[in-house]
Structure 1
């Protein structure tokens, strides 16, 4: 073998070895320089709703914390699955994140044919907020509290109606859990969205509804009656409002946790940085007040592990109700 052939062989060997070497070093090196450009935050709902407004509030503060733009990308449709698929199929480099309610992971797999596995294709980064769900009745129903409503439901089995934002939605599952746990029956009336369902309650077309917050103004104006919040703890902004747990439905909890997720395989150092920064953001008075102002409940803090545990617990609880009540999506 002459000198030229030897040199070519050395170059070829180096070229073959280089990708392996870079593959070992790139996650560490990438994490050290991240972020060097904009970080996209995808949300699976249209602009103007609680999911979108919560995401934008976090994105504005995350832009300051990271020193790079964090634009919000609305990809609505398929109950959030379109957005989830976009992140699940993205590069695991920390530049494409998902902002989503726990329902995307905890409810959708029980109802929809998924094109990705949210528990293996996504990794939890941080919780961002908890949206409370309220039990409301039409103003002229003639009940004053949860006990009155349950007594009426027992006296008139199958005659009262409850609305929802559609079959398989969180409000539908909340209503089914309520009637199941209380051992009463009521007729479900699905609408095409939360707003039409609330309008129906105000108009007296249905008897009760689980609402995520937009109905609070109607309750304040006396157009609907607010009975309880569907969580284990009272709402800080409404300290006199009882929980369904206190009203006799032990451990009743249908509130929604919002969180940030990354593509699985994202370097641990990037996930840790994001978790720390978002945790600081959620502790700020400005963000906490902002969440209350947009009706998004309260800020949450917690590790990725705590968020993952909450989502898995929700998946087990809601999955059981979906199976028992034979819930199907529209």
Structure 2
């Protein structure tokens, strides 16, 4: 009997030792390299924002962070890859505003952002400038709006594909301003911009103008953010201040994990993100390319924000019929 009792005590001690060995390993996350699947091509607003932030987050978390670009299919490819990953915090997703349009634009998609992802935090947002071809007989927002209303269906706007920020900005403008514009999707922003310069499309919403702004071939009209003016274009008015109240369409970037990721991992990621956003060097790099820090961070805010975006863009895209 005594021997049996000793054996039971030894087994219990071994089990306790096993649990105590497991718990520190969980608490020590991260213990290896983290991969962030970026639902954007290299050099795009989502990609650039991701890389600025991850440089700092890697230092805070004490592990390397690898960014893997997985563009295409409105973000569904990237979401699918992350959704199938282990919910252990080592495979994450950054994605732009397409995350809020998948239900409407890709009704047959096998992925569902709400079902498959755990929201972590918003990373940042980049406003856009509406630019029109120089042959469009307008000089400012007032004359542009008047011309668009007087010539329904004549003007066209382009973007780098369905669900992109430029697509959503144009569709939102159509609804809020009550104008009839025709949407023309392209495979990439450079292709759309080439046709803008060639006069084959009338306008485009862009997050960066580069040499376009000084080319003399286009006219900047307004900026797609509410509140104060955008730092890269301090002399250009916002749609909001020109009378289109509350008009805002940006390339907002968010960070997600697979559904089921432990709450403590999500908390550590949010803390690392907040540390990055508070860093002066990150802010300087954001300012250089026009990224605006989010109004709030964390999973609770992002969950509500995503819900609101899904509702907002579903209504916009259905009523403007810009889903084809």
If the TM-score is normalised by the length of the shorter chain, which range does it land in?
A: 0.7 to 0.9
Aligned residues: 316
Structure 2, gaps ≥5 residues long: none
Structure 1: gaps spanning 5 or more residues: 1-5
Alignment of 1:25-44 (within 5 A): 29-44=24-39
Which stretch has the larger CA shift, 46-55 or 243-252?
A: 46-55
1:277 — aligned with what?
272
1:76 and 2:105 matched: no
Q: Does 1:196 align with 2:191?
A: yes
- Counterpart of 2:124 (choices 114, 121, 129) is 129
Report the counterpart of residue 95 of structure 2 in structure 1: 100
Determine if contact 2:97/2:164 at 8 Å carries over to the other structure: no
- Who is 1:115 aligned against? 110
Q: Which residue of 2 aligns with 1:3?
A: none
Shift of 1:141: 2.1
1:228 pairs with one of 213, 216, 222: 222
2:86 pairs with 1:91: yes
Separation in 2 of the partners of 1:29 and 1:281? 26
Counterpart-to-counterpart distance in 1, 2:163 and 2:96 = 15
Deviations 1:68-98 (A, max 9, x none): 1111112222222111111111111111111
Question: Normalization by structure 1: what TM-score?
Answer: 0.86
Aligned to 2:237: 242
Change (3 A) 1:319 1:202: same
RMSD over aligned CA atoms reads 2.8
2:299 equivalent in structure 1: 304
What is the alpha-carbon distance in structure 1 between the residues aligned to residue 52 and residue 83 of structure 2? 23
* Counterpart mapping for 1:1-40 below 5 A: 29-40=24-35
Give me the TM-score of the superposition, normalised by structure 2. 0.87
Q: Note closer, same or farther for the CA distance 1:223–1:286 as it changes in structure 2 (3 Å cut).
A: farther
Residue 188 of structure 1: how far off its partner (Å):
2.4
Deviates more, 1:168-177 or 1:199-208: 168-177
